[in-house]
């Protein structure tokens, strides 16, 4: 199975979804969830959230119906914090800040941020330069809308490296990875992290200053605003 098991709880699993794999089946090709179910035939598994096909990283799968319902409630109550790494080639309009706006359908299967804020997508980010023309971003979405982070990066003038839809620089993959989860589960706080193995992400990790390593090693420890 290409998707690595990262964390096991009696009520759920956390896997590392491989980049380039759809969550659902597509044209006869088994997607992430079908592959997981095939690998655990003795269990009844339930999806609780998704990642884009081109995004790698941490994803939760519930192991029973009660857990699925509870985890969905946690997402709605913002009791599951998600943190992503991204790499982009253009210098942003600002090194850190918030990105907020309604999501509106655009061309080429993409989305864009609209000025109205009836139901906004909300994201906060930090970034630092890598010294080779790239910047490393830590992204925290406060909502979970389709292509939210990719649209957010495009809106600050720094589309993600390898993002063909949002005019990022050409690359061998989309440089977006779900790196950390902080789950407030019953009476526990469960923290799961997985740094991506890809060389360019490793360079970002190696080049980080002591201050920046704080958000690499414990992103939830930063002073995140309440959006």
186 phi-psi bin (left φ>0, alpha ψ -120 to 50, beta other) = left
Q: Determine the 3-state secondary structure of 179 from DSSP.
A: strand
- CB 204: neighbour CB atoms within 10 A? 25
At 152, list the tokens.
């957010």
Distance CA 226, CA 116 (A): 20
> Integer distance in angstroms from the first to the last C-alpha of the chain?
38
- CB 208: neighbour CB atoms within 10 A? 17
Just list the catalytic residues.
52
């Amino acid at each position: 199975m290409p998707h690595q098991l990262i964390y096991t709880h009696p009520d759920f699993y956390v896997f590392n979804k491989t980049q380039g794999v759809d969550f659902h089946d597509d044209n006869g090709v088994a997607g992430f969830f079908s592959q997981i179910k095939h690998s655990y035939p003795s269990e009844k598994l339930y999806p609780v959230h998704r990642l884009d096909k081109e995004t790698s990283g941490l994803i939760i799968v519930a192991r029973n119906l009660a857990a699925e319902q509870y985890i969905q409630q946690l997402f709605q109550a913002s009791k599951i914090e998600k943190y992503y790494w991204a790499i982009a080639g253009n210098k942003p309009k600002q090194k850190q800040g918030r990105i907020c706006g309604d999501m509106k359908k655009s061309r080429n299967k993409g989305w864009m941020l609209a000025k109205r804020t009836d139901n906004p997508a909300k994201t906060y980010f930090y970034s630092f330069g890598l010294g080779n023309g790239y910047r490393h971003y830590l992204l925290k979405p406060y909502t979970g809308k389709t292509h939210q982070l990719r649209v957010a990066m495009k809106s600050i003038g720094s589309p993600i490296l390898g993002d063909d839809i949002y005019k990022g620089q050409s690359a061998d993959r989309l440089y977006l990875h779900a790196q950390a989860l902080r789950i407030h589960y019953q009476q526990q706080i469960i923290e799961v992290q997985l740094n991506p193995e890809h060389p360019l992400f490793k360079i970002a990790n190696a080049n980080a200053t002591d201050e920046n390593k704080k958000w690499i090693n414990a992103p939830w420890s930063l002073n995140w605003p309440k959006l």
